[in-house]
């Protein structure tokens, strides 16, 4: 998948509930104080110019300094077609910025003695399992929220998968291969934060959404904040999502998060997030209430796991991850931050705890560094420093990337091998394929190619070369350019397919599964009867309504396991299978018994 829709820009970063309240119940606009030190004169022009450069439809910003809101404003349009402006109360999806809310809620449980950051998750969730049983016994809640579990992203397990529960998704973790040992390497992972959120809901005795609402949002007075874009769309003031496709900005569909919600489900406003900034800058205190202990607030903002790599720019310090936040330095000042990126939205939160300065920027366009550009410019102004030409830098990087990609295309580096063709007739690729961690892929015929369905995504597949098919280039398709390789088994049939869905582990293999009808009584009854083996009789019977059984006199019965069409594997006999054949009238007349490279025709009596 195109990772730009799922990643925080790490080189830049550090590189079920209804809406809490409807729009009519929104709090009064925060009083905006005068900024101190360098001031924000000229910022409006800077933001307007940068929005044109990046073709950003709408932007909302809040700036907090010394405990006061010094800027709270909207720019551009929350809905371009209707020309509706962004306001301080426009709802934006904040995506992965949600992660620190997970940690804040867990912090309240730690404060109450209901959770220990450093005890195994297994102690609280007895059914919890990871791929490695040693990791299962050792993985702690702190590991979940610091991206050091050893598990890479595996994002397609959750992306566009609204048909699975959070509990079911946690149960799938045991099938996902890690790429590193526990606590060895920083690897950004949405699934671990999903698990942390699930744990918080279980310990609170409710859902994660309700736990965060009760323990974080209500104490902070974040009355407009919700947990679903479906709820956002019921509001009078929400931002539509947009994506740039070949220089044209187009409105796209909202992405519904579902089970993975704790990793990126919250939707909020510039005004509400100003409360959250004040809470973090005050080390867990809001107003006269200590919502989480100062100790836990400081832990959130302190390095827990180093992020390998050299900073992209000299103004940025070495990178580490706290608990739900990135921790680095900006021009010599400690900076705590986190970004968010999901279909149609980008966001960035950053604060300098020692200087008591915080900035949050939301935009309703994905795949853009615009939030970082504005955040860094605001910090330059409030610190009274010469402004770094961040906008020009990122524009130049983006231009070079596009030029390099175009050159690679022109020189044929992404072209298929010429003169190749598939090894099978197209109908033989059609079917269902499953992976225990990722779920099911369905391949259906479509024109001269196929239609691939996974989760709630569907995309066309065109022949690329040999037995490799690819999704055509389309900026609006999250699966664009994804390649699918079909594998032939020893019997010459398409037995599986594989995709590079997680680059840090071997290709993910989906094994072909039987058609649904092969478990239906009406289909199976036609095969029941006796077949003439040389010197013996093979009896095929129906056990219950869904299972065929083969048996010979004096031998234990063996279940026939559906494979494809009318072909069944014989349970317990490796390489043995039975394929039923029909005559011209459509009745089963015989079967072929395959084993060890030979075949035997057996007639139905």
Are 165 and 251 in the same domain?
yes
Reported as a single tens digit per residue, the pLDDT across 506-525 is 999 999 999 889 999 999 99
Domain boundary among 464, 488, 513: 513
The tokens of 318 are what? 């070495």
**414 belongs to a structural domain:** no
Domain boundary among 371, 403, 435: 403
Reported as a single tens digit per residue, the pLDDT across 380-410 is 999 999 999 999 999 999 999 999 989 988 8
What integer pLDDT is reported at residue 258 of this predicted model? 87
Number of folded domains in the chain?
Answer: 3
Residue 30 binned pLDDT confidence (cut-offs 50, 70, 90): low
Cα R_g (the chain), whole angstroms:
28
Are 172 and 55 in the same domain?
yes
What integer pLDDT is reported at residue 4 of this predicted model? 36
- Mean pLDDT is lowest, of 236-240, 334-338, 416-420, for 416-420
Domain range for 565 is 517-604
**488 belongs to a structural domain:** yes
CATH number for the domain harbouring residue 529: 2.40.128
> What whole-number distance in Å separates Cα of residue 180 and Cα of residue 145?
16
More confident residue, 283 or 489: 283
> What whole-number distance in Å separates Cα of residue 286 and Cα of residue 280?
9
What mean pLDDT do residues 359-367 have? 97
Residue 14 binned pLDDT confidence (cut-offs 50, 70, 90): very low
Are 393 and 482 in the same domain?
no
**421 belongs to a structural domain:** no
What integer pLDDT is reported at residue 313 of this predicted model? 95
What integer pLDDT is reported at residue 453 of this predicted model? 96
What integer pLDDT is reported at residue 5 of this predicted model? 34
What integer pLDDT is reported at residue 514 of this predicted model? 92
Q: Is the pLDDT of residue 28 over 70?
A: no
What integer pLDDT is reported at residue 37 of this predicted model? 65
What integer pLDDT is reported at residue 12 of this predicted model? 34
Strand partners, 543: 547
Q: Is the pLDDT of residue 558 over 70?
A: yes
Reported as a single tens digit per residue, the pLDDT across 583-593 is 989 899 999 99
Are 486 and 526 in the same domain?
no
Are 335 and 238 in the same domain?
yes
Lay out the sheet containing 84-85: strands in order across.
84-85, 68-79, 58-65, 357-363, 345-352, 333-342, 326-330, 320-321, 305-306
* Single pTM value for the model: 0.90
What mean pLDDT do residues 341-359 have? 97
Domain boundary among 513, 541, 563: 513
Are 470 and 507 in the same domain?
yes
Q: Distance between terminal CA atoms of the chain?
A: 53
Q: Is the pLDDT of residue 15 over 60?
A: no
What integer pLDDT is reported at residue 490 of this predicted model? 82
Reported as a single tens digit per residue, the pLDDT across 137-190 is 999 999 999 999 999 999 999 998 888 999 999 999 999 999 999 999 999 999
């Amino acid at each position: 998948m195109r990772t730009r829709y799922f990643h925080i820009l790490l080189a830049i970063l550090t590189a079920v509930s209804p809406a809490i309240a409807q729009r009519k119940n929104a709090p009064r606009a925060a009083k905006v104080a005068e900024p101190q030190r360098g001031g924000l004169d000229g910022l409006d022009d800077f933001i307007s110019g940068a929005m044109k450069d990046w073709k950003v439809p709408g932007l909302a910003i809040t700036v907090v300094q010394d405990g006061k809101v010094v800027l709270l404003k909207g720019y551009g349009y929350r809905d371009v077609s209707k020309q509706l402006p962004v306001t301080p109360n426009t709802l934006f999806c904040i995506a992965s910025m949600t992660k620190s809310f997970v940690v804040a809620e867990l912090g309240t449980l730690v404060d109450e003695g209901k959770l220990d950051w450093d005890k195994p998750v297994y102690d609280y969730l007895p059914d919890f399992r990871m791929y490695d049983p040693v990791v299962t016994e050792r993985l702690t809640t702190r590991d979940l929220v610091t991206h050091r579990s050893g598990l890479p992203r595996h994002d397609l397990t959750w992306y566009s998968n609204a048909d699975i529960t959070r509990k079911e998704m946690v149960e799938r973790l045991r099938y996902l291969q890690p790429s590193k040992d526990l606590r060895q390497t920083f690897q950004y992972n949405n699934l671990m934060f999903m698990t942390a959120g699930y744990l918080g809901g279980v310990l609170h005795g409710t859902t994660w959404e309700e736990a965060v609402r009760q323990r974080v949002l209500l104490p902070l007075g974040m009355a407009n904040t919700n947990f679903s874009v479906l709820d956002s769309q019921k509001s009078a003031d929400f931002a539509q999502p947009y994506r740039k496709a070949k220089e044209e900005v187009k409105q796209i569909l909202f992405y519904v998060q579902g089970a993975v919600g704790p990793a990126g489900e919250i939707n909020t406003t510039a005004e509400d997030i100003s409360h959250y900034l004040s809470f973090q800058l005050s080390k867990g205190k809001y107003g006269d209430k200590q919502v989480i202990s100062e100790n836990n607030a400081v832990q959130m903002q302190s390095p827990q796991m180093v992020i390998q790599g050299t900073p992209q720019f000299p103004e940025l310090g070495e990178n580490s991850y706290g608990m739900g936040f990135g921790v680095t330095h900006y021009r010599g000042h400690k900076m705590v931050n986190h970004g968010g990126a999901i279909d149609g939205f980008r966001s960035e939160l950053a604060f300098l705890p020692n200087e008591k300065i915080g900035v949050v920027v939301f935009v309703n366009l994905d795949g853009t560094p615009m939030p970082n550009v504005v955040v860094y410019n605001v910090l330059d102004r409030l610190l009274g420093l010469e402004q770094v030409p961040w906008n020009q830098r990122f524009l130049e990087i983006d231009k070079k990337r596009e030029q390099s990609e175009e050159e690679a295309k022109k020189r044929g580096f992404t072209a298929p091998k010429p003169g190749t063709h598939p090894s099978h007739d197209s109908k033989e690729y059609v079917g269902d394929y499953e992976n225990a961690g990722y779920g099911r892929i369905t391949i259906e015929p479509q024109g001269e190619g196929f239609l691939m369905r996974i989760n709630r995504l569907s995309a066309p597949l065109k022949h690329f070369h040999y037995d490799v098919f690819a999704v055509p280039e389309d900026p609006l398709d999250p699966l664009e350019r994804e390649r699918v390789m079909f594998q032939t088994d020893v019997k010459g049939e398409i037995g599986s397919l594989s995709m590079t869905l997680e680059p840090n582990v071997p290709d993910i293999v989906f094994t072909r599964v039987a058609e649904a009808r092969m478990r239906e009584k009406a289909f199976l009854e036609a095969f029941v009867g006796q077949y003439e083996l040389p010197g013996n009789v093979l009896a095929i019977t129906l056990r219950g309504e869904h299972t065929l059984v083969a048996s010979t006199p004096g031998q234990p019965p063996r279940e026939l396991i559906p494979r494809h069409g009318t072909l069944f594997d014989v349970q317990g006999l490796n390489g043995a299978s039975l394929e039923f054949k029909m005559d011209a009238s459509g009745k089963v007349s015989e079967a072929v018994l395959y084993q060890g490279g030979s075949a035997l025709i057996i007639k139905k009596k």
